[in-house]
A and B are shown apart, each in its own frame.
Chain A
């Protein structure tokens, strides 16, 4: 589904991503874990086309998309739930969801998908006309996920969906991620909450200062001593 080969990204003179390679197969949940500033968000931004790659390749279903603009990638059904939710605060919930379907023209099906989002997140359905900026953090996260789903993504990139949420809500969000995946959307997930991420991931990569240092199945990595010490609080 998604293949990244020897990707290098710079911020000015800072070498942010060093020869990153990773693969996400169709139907998988793959997670990328690592500390703050390791390059997780940069990786996702580059895959979405918000940052430019200096060298390397990004292949989506075998097609080289490295040079395509961000909107073109959305058109190819690659979508992202960005870090910090980034909903449109002055727009209503409905309008936010409509923005997610910006490139689609199939009105009837957009309507259906919107209903589906309300099923996944009933709280959004109750507040359709409310300005998105007035929602709580958890609700905004749900809206950001719903908005991304409105583009009918084949692959969904998620950047720290649990950030700043209460533990109970984190559980709920992860359940929903599993649901979305079981409905056929491939997922690449970035998380600081490594424990949760590894528990739902098929496979995982560990990124440290811009390089992939380890990879394996979710289960393997959660048992690795190094991972336990560095990311799972040593227990």
Chain B
């Protein structure tokens, strides 16, 4: 039982990071129907920005988080404008392949500048531990979960209550109708990339703190897992991405804890296959009817 609760605690901290990344996947998919495979690499860039400003400028956690989010927001806007926007009216596969290209570009440009070696993150947060019986909770984990929750609440507020959030929902639902309301589609799509990428940037900083190590290829596996999380939750659904992220995080730590940590990645992808067979629209996804 203790073992289970301990893994649950670990799973929730890891899962909240996956959830942040999954949100970007799901929002971008919702608005332009693209699986943005470069998203995991935006998260990597976020981790490096956080690393750079804390190591070389010596600033604290919150400012580093904000700088990283802003940089990633900008990166997201640029990626969309340069790589995806020119292809908006071409076949879906063209833009998907471009996304993979952007992903490789980010990984290897980063490697060119910072080298391929693993770097260790500076200590930004108190890492003392709290003990509840046999369960150990690191204060860092609490910070991580609370930061993630705060960002998700903020996102939920923006999407539900602000004008731009409503414009995002309108464009996701029906691009032509949104234009007939006077909504500018291009700037709404830019904004969506900015928000999704900012959340990925935050995830990057948090994971740097959690695992204490970063490298230019660190975005690949978490990127794919966050994608699985988004699919599990129902791609296009924001609450779905949150639930999906937590579920994947918990699944992964349980597999590591009880089985063999070598199988944790395999378990996540096996899970993806099961979802796609049993409920391809995900737990909160809409059954999309093809229009004839």
Contacts and interface: CB of A to CB of B under 8 A. Distances in A.
Interface in A66-118: 69-71, 74-75, 79-80, 82, 86-91, 95, 98-100, 102-103
A213 interface: no
Nearest to A103: B182
B184 interface: yes
Given A82-B176, A86-B176, A74 B170 contact: no
Contacts of A148: 180
Contact of B169 (A48, A91, A100, A147): A91
B176 A99 contact: no
Contact of B179 (A49, A90, A98): A49
B166 interface: yes
Contacts of B169: 88, 90-91
A70 B166 contact: no
Given A82-B176, A82-B177, A86-B177, A91 B170 contact: yes
Interface string B220-237: 000000000000000000
Contacts of B179: 48-50, 69-71
Contacts of B178: 99
Nearest to A148: B180
Contacts of B166: 91, 95, 98-99
A151 interface: yes
B229 to A, nearest CB: 21
B177 A102 contact: no
Contacts of A100: 181
Interface in B241-255: none
Nearest to B184: A71
B173 interface: yes
B117 interface: no
Contact of A74 (B163, B176, B180): B180
Nearest to A81: B180
Contacts of B176: 50, 82, 86
A69 B178 CA distance: 13
A103 B167 CA distance: 11
Interface string B154-167: 00000000010011
Interface of B: 163, 166-167, 169-170, 173-174, 176-184
16 contacts: A48-B180, A69-B179, A70-B182, A74-B181, A74-B182, A82-B177, A89-B173, A90-B173, A91-B173, A95-B166, A99-B166, A99-B170, A99-B181, A102-B182, A147-B181, A151-B182
Given A102-B163, A151-B181, 18 more contacts: A48-B180, A50-B176, A50-B179, A69-B179, A70-B180, A74-B180, A82-B177, A86-B177, A87-B177, A88-B170, A90-B173, A91-B170, A99-B166, A99-B170, A99-B183, A100-B181, A102-B181, A148-B180
